Structure 1
Amino acid sequence: MLNKKPRINNQIKASRVRVINEKGENLGILETDKALEASRNAGLDLVEIVPNTDPPIAKIIDFGKYLYQFEKQERQKKVKTKKTEVKGIRIGIKTSRHDMETKAKQTAKFLKDGHKVRIEVILRGREKSLQDFVRSKVDEFLTLIPEKFTEDQPIKRGPRGISLVISKMK
């Protein structure tokens, strides 16, 4: 909903306003009283569209229709803003080549959809001491991804293993 509703009719405090009629034609700068009279004659409301200019811009329109159009535009803006999620792919040291290919295809699908992907290599026990082998496993996995990507976060160690975040190359 609207946080701040525009001023209408007698709520307009400015002494003069730039008036636009319902057809979108500029009527020029008028005294607020004359603009209100013109809106009443048309059977519509005088709505202050741009209050922070000198003089403010007011439009002669049906206020209910204006609110509906404004809210409709806001909803469309929300729909257009795409939320990106960070999807997770987990591999282990013992993950087979075929499983890695399958996970690489899934990673490519996530990247095509515009999501970021966190690739985690889970390490258990003595596996934590095999850092060179783990890095080669990650590099092997990254070469299997058919989609072009960039590393958003470089490889970093965590308590359960190592991880990195990638996203689609723009």
Structure 2
Amino acid sequence: MTNLRCNEQIRLSPIRLIDEQGEQRGVVETAEALRMAREVGLDLVEVSPNERPPVCKIMDYGKHKYLLSKKQKHKHHEQKMKEVRIRPKTDPHDRQIKLQHAREFLTRGDKVQFTMIFKGRERFHQEIGQESFNEIAAGLADVGKVERDAKMLGRKMTMIMIPLKVPTPGKPKAAKSADGKSDSKPKASKSTKKRAEDGAPMESAAPDHLAPAASSPSTTPAGS
């Protein structure tokens, strides 16, 4: 119902009209229904085009489309309940596969109900199920948390886990002074610290153009 004909797009006449209050107004000419819609500042929308005569309603079509799209968006993010079934004697390899499926469900944002079915004398060893569920919860602690602890219902033990939202750690920021500049200072070298501790005077490097030129040995002309 997102692309309905409205106002002048409605070609058939007469129509069956529903007013802005939801009241049935019977069969009226399309031009008359359009005039009534304009009087109240709304639109005439063809809501059931396959009916004869077609059913039209006076409404705010823009608001109608907005609410419909919002509802559809919410539906896409609707959380689902997934079930993972295991047995007290499930093979370790098969259990890992089932846990991987549970991890995918939790990462996707769905709840997961773990169900362990006991048969025969297995019912007298419920501690096996409790230990298994504790291991499952610990193994999936990075993506989910237990919403409902393990509970025995008849021959079944169930536990429900929900997704865990982990905040993304931010990068630490350098402290700033009052003028907005970084408060970090250049660190002194180890040799500079050592000289300061020994009480030796600090030396400053002279620029290259002020450094004294190295004296060269005097040369005596040959034959003197």
For residues 98 and 110 of structure 1, the distance between their equivalents in structure 2, rounded to whole angstroms, comes to 19
2:131 pairs with 1:151:
no
Deviation at 1:121, TM superposition (A): 0.8
Residue 53 (structure 1) aligns with: none
For residues 61 and 117 of structure 2, the distance between their equivalents in structure 1, rounded to whole angstroms, comes to 52
Residue 124 (structure 2) aligns with: 129
2:91 pairs with 1:96:
yes
Q: TM-score if structure 1 supplies the norm length?
A: 0.60
Gaps of 5+ in 1: 8-39, 48-60
Which structure has the larger Rg over C-alpha atoms?
A: 2
Residue 43 (structure 2) aligns with: 63
For residues 70 and 140 of structure 1, the distance between their equivalents in structure 2, rounded to whole angstroms, comes to 50
Identical columns (%): 25
Work out which of the residue numbers 65, 73, 78 in structure 2 matches 1:80: 73
Q: Which has the higher helix share?
A: 1
For residues 99 and 162 of structure 1, the distance between their equivalents in structure 2, rounded to whole angstroms, comes to 19
**Root-mean-square deviation over aligned CA pairs:** 2.7
Residue 108 (structure 1) aligns with: 103
Gaps of 5+ in 2: 2-18, 23-34, 46-58, 166-224
For residues 138 and 90 of structure 2, the distance between their equivalents in structure 1, rounded to whole angstroms, comes to 15
Q: Give CA-to-partner distance per residue, 1:97-131, whole Å, 9 cap, x none.
A: 11111111111111122211110111111111112
3-state SS, counterpart of residue 95 of structure 1: coil
- Checking the alignment, whether the CA contact within 8 Å between 2:147 and 2:160 is kept in structure 1 is yes
- Checking the alignment, whether the CA contact within 8 Å between 1:110 and 1:116 is kept in structure 2 is yes
Deviation at 1:87, TM superposition (A): 0.8
2:60 pairs with 1:45:
no
Note the 1:19-34 alignment, pairs <5 A.
none
Q: Which has the higher strand share?
A: 1
Paired residues, number? 120
For residues 156 and 121 of structure 2, the distance between their equivalents in structure 1, rounded to whole angstroms, comes to 11
